[in-house]
Structure 1
């Protein structure tokens, strides 16, 4: 059957992103499932990070519509600027200025959901050094004049651990914009997908000023004839061990690859290698890149 999509499921060690703040308290985003609470990095946050790191937003142009009750900022779209010639619009758009144009994204990402249920780990901080510096420069006392020197204690929930997410790319949609009947060249289509793969392989996040290495520890997938998150329901980690179900093994053996970053992040690495015939993560992405080039017929 003809391949139509690229589908991947990734296990990575990453932090959650933050929800609304309540005063000086910041909480991570969470979901409720299986009668337990799990922390997440939302699909919106994850997709934005991937698009930015891939360089697909480098040519992003935005426009504001002030005719509404409040200013609305949207992606700029026109016959001269559309998904065929603007990489930033590959992630989808809706522009309602003058004429309404809508194009769905060709890149679909799930929430990155923690592999273990949430255990609250609050962290307490303050800006004592800055407040002390200001107090000294202005003849104030930190203890007696806390309100005047800007002393501000704060706390936030901290969560970093193994999370699992899936990403699927509609290869038939890459580089096409039906709103303007335009289409990118095969070389450009392949380049966009490969840039996205590079971002997944080397994903790095900045969370509250800290650098977060979110590269894949385990990854499975490849080119598929089905436009769905094919491995989403069979990749599970429990107590830092990948569950090697018959369904996962069977699905992987249907022409897909599995990559493993060896570093004891997963405690059953030997069993994973034996049952899934894994390759290194770098080799995984190298093979996948060649498959993408073959799909778009740009093997030069």
Structure 2
């Protein structure tokens, strides 16, 4: 069978994203499994971060017509607008809908959530305002806009999966139009590059979310092949026979030299891992070969 999909499962040291706040309190997104809470970075957050960092949103056009939505027309569609690769639904005079050609799972923490609240305030700005207006910050804190706030902080190993249908990249079924293969390669590689060097801005701080461990490659299955076999327990990557067999069936793996995973040496030996640089370079070359570019 032809390998017409690209699938990756990634372990990264990243923060969770925030859900709804209550007053000056922000809480992270969570999911519940086996009666326990685990922090997550949602698939929507991951998708938007990678689309943005991969510059796929650079040509995004937005319209407000009863709802805020991506602009779609015969002149602007997925064949010539990279921002529409992630899917769209436009409800103008005619409703156009196209599913994304790639999918993410939520990035779910490897460990049960433990709340680590952080307390901050805007003291510096309030002090400058008090100085400008000749106010007493201690007695007139409200006038100076002094505002304490609290948020949950969570950063740790999280696992997510990514799969892209290479046959659908650059294809817009609604308008019977298709991008050139060179453009398809650019879109896929831009996404891969964003995953390889992913960084997130969280509460004004830069968060390095690059892969610590990654496994995958071109596949004849348009699904998250490694979603159910990559696990972290007690700081170690679990080396099950299912994981080993799947890697040996035509996939590759890479791991960073890091103390975030305790059994790096065993992982290297069991999965015959490559360097992170070589892994992603091979993926890029495989994508070029698939499209004949």
Query: Do both proteins adopt the same fold according to a TM-score greater than 0.5, normalized to the shorter chain?
Result: yes
Which deviations, in whole Å up to 9, do the C-alpha atoms of 1:235-268 show, x marking residues without a partner?
0111221111110101111100101111222110
Instruction: Work out the CA distance in 2 between the residues paired with 1:144 and 1:191.
Output: 59
How many pairs does the alignment contain? 293
Instruction: Work out the CA distance in 1 between the residues paired with 2:244 and 2:161.
Output: 17
Candidates 182, 186, 196, aligned match of 1:187: 182
Instruction: Work out the CA distance in 1 between the residues paired with 2:125 and 2:171.
Output: 52
Residue in 2 that maps onto 1:10: 10
Instruction: Work out the CA distance in 2 between the residues paired with 1:132 and 1:170.
Output: 54
Instruction: Work out the CA distance in 1 between the residues paired with 2:77 and 2:40.
Output: 32
SS of 1:146's equivalent? coil
Structure 1 segments unaligned to the other structure (5+ residues): none
Structure 1 residue 118 and structure 2 residue 116: aligned?
no
Instruction: Work out the CA distance in 1 between the residues paired with 2:245 and 2:120.
Output: 49
Residue in 2 that maps onto 1:227: 222
Deviation at 1:281, TM superposition (A): 0.7
Where in structure 1 do 4 or more consecutive aligned residues deviate above 3 Å? none
Candidates 127, 142, 150, aligned match of 2:145: 150
Instruction: Work out the CA distance in 1 between the residues paired with 2:199 and 2:157.
Output: 15
Residue in 2 that maps onto 1:44: 44
Instruction: Work out the CA distance in 2 between the residues paired with 1:140 and 1:83.
Output: 56
- TM-score, normalization by structure 1: 0.96
Structure 2 segments unaligned to the other structure (5+ residues): none
Structure 1 residue 291 and structure 2 residue 268: aligned?
no
Which deviations, in whole Å up to 9, do the C-alpha atoms of 1:124-165 show, x marking residues without a partner?
111222222222322222221121111111110000011100
Instruction: Work out the CA distance in 1 between the residues paired with 2:131 and 2:177.
Output: 64
Deviation at 1:190, TM superposition (A): 1.2
